[in-house]
Amino acid sequence: MTAPKPKASIRAPSSTAINAFVDQRPSPPERKRAKGLVQRVTKGELDRVTAYLPADLGYELRMRCTSKRIELSEAVADAVRRWLDGPGG
Protein backbone atom coordinates (compact mmCIF):
# COMPACT_ATOMS: atom_id res chain seq x y z
CA MET A 1 0.00 0.00 0.00
CA THR A 2 1.38 3.46 -0.95
CA ALA A 3 1.21 6.54 1.22
CA PRO A 4 -1.53 9.02 0.32
CA LYS A 5 -0.39 12.07 -1.66
CA PRO A 6 -0.52 15.36 0.22
CA LYS A 7 -3.23 17.73 -0.89
CA ALA A 8 -1.95 20.60 -3.02
CA SER A 9 -2.73 24.04 -1.75
CA ILE A 10 -2.80 27.25 -3.63
CA ARG A 11 -1.58 30.23 -1.70
CA ALA A 12 0.02 33.55 -2.45
CA PRO A 13 3.82 33.51 -2.36
CA SER A 14 5.36 35.11 0.67
CA SER A 15 6.88 38.57 0.34
CA THR A 16 10.37 37.13 0.88
CA ALA A 17 9.84 34.80 -2.08
CA ILE A 18 8.81 37.71 -4.28
CA ASN A 19 11.62 39.99 -3.07
CA ALA A 20 14.22 37.35 -3.91
CA PHE A 21 13.79 38.27 -7.58
CA VAL A 22 13.74 42.05 -7.12
CA ASP A 23 16.91 44.12 -7.04
CA GLN A 24 17.05 45.55 -3.54
CA ARG A 25 19.59 48.26 -4.34
CA PRO A 26 18.12 51.75 -4.49
CA SER A 27 17.84 53.35 -7.89
CA PRO A 28 20.41 56.05 -8.63
CA PRO A 29 18.96 59.55 -8.55
CA GLU A 30 17.93 60.87 -11.93
CA ARG A 31 20.51 63.16 -13.42
CA LYS A 32 19.27 66.53 -14.51
CA ARG A 33 20.51 67.62 -17.90
CA ALA A 34 22.91 70.48 -17.54
CA LYS A 35 22.16 73.58 -19.53
CA GLY A 36 24.38 76.54 -20.22
CA LEU A 37 27.43 76.93 -18.04
CA VAL A 38 29.30 73.88 -16.79
CA GLN A 39 31.97 73.93 -14.09
CA ARG A 40 34.98 71.65 -14.61
CA VAL A 41 37.70 71.29 -12.01
CA THR A 42 40.54 71.23 -14.52
CA LYS A 43 39.16 73.67 -17.11
CA GLY A 44 37.12 76.17 -15.13
CA GLU A 45 33.78 77.45 -16.33
CA LEU A 46 32.65 76.29 -19.76
CA ASP A 47 29.60 77.24 -21.83
CA ARG A 48 27.75 74.32 -23.38
CA VAL A 49 27.02 75.00 -27.06
CA THR A 50 25.41 72.69 -29.60
CA ALA A 51 26.57 72.94 -33.19
CA TYR A 52 25.49 70.89 -36.20
CA LEU A 53 28.05 70.08 -38.87
CA PRO A 54 27.75 68.23 -42.17
CA ALA A 55 28.35 64.52 -41.49
CA ASP A 56 31.62 64.36 -43.42
CA LEU A 57 33.03 67.41 -41.61
CA GLY A 58 32.02 66.05 -38.21
CA TYR A 59 33.64 62.71 -38.99
CA GLU A 60 36.86 64.34 -40.18
CA LEU A 61 36.94 66.55 -37.08
CA ARG A 62 36.54 63.56 -34.74
CA MET A 63 39.23 61.57 -36.56
CA ARG A 64 41.68 64.49 -36.56
CA CYS A 65 41.08 65.15 -32.84
CA THR A 66 41.65 61.47 -32.11
CA SER A 67 44.89 61.32 -34.09
CA LYS A 68 46.20 64.52 -32.47
CA ARG A 69 44.95 63.42 -29.03
CA ILE A 70 43.04 66.62 -28.33
CA GLU A 71 39.49 67.06 -27.14
CA LEU A 72 36.87 68.00 -29.69
CA SER A 73 35.90 71.00 -27.55
CA GLU A 74 39.47 72.32 -27.68
CA ALA A 75 39.59 72.09 -31.48
CA VAL A 76 36.22 73.80 -31.88
CA ALA A 77 37.16 76.55 -29.36
CA ASP A 78 40.41 77.19 -31.23
CA ALA A 79 38.63 77.39 -34.61
CA VAL A 80 35.93 79.74 -33.26
CA ARG A 81 38.58 81.94 -31.59
CA ARG A 82 40.47 82.25 -34.88
CA TRP A 83 37.28 82.98 -36.79
CA LEU A 84 36.23 85.70 -34.32
CA ASP A 85 39.71 87.28 -34.33
CA GLY A 86 40.01 87.17 -38.12
CA PRO A 87 39.10 89.89 -40.61
CA GLY A 88 35.56 91.12 -40.11
CA GLY A 89 35.31 89.32 -36.74
pLDDT tens per residue, range 26-72: 655 555 545 665 665 566 788 888 999 999 999 999 999 999 999 99
Does residue 86 belong to any structural domain of this protein?
yes
The Cα-based distances of 3 to 6, 8, 10, 76 in angstroms read 9, 15, 22, 83
Does residue 49 belong to any structural domain of this protein?
yes
Domain range for 43 is 35-89
Does residue 3 belong to any structural domain of this protein?
no
Q: How far apart are CA 64 and CA 56, in angstroms?
A: 12
Tally helices (H) and strands (E) across the chain.
3, 2
Number of domains forming the structure of the chain: 1
Amino acid at position 12, single letter: A
Does residue 45 belong to any structural domain of this protein?
yes
Q: How far apart are CA 82 and CA 80, in angstroms?
A: 5
Does residue 48 belong to any structural domain of this protein?
yes
The pLDDT score that the predictor gives to residue 82 is 94
Global model pTM greater than 0.75? no
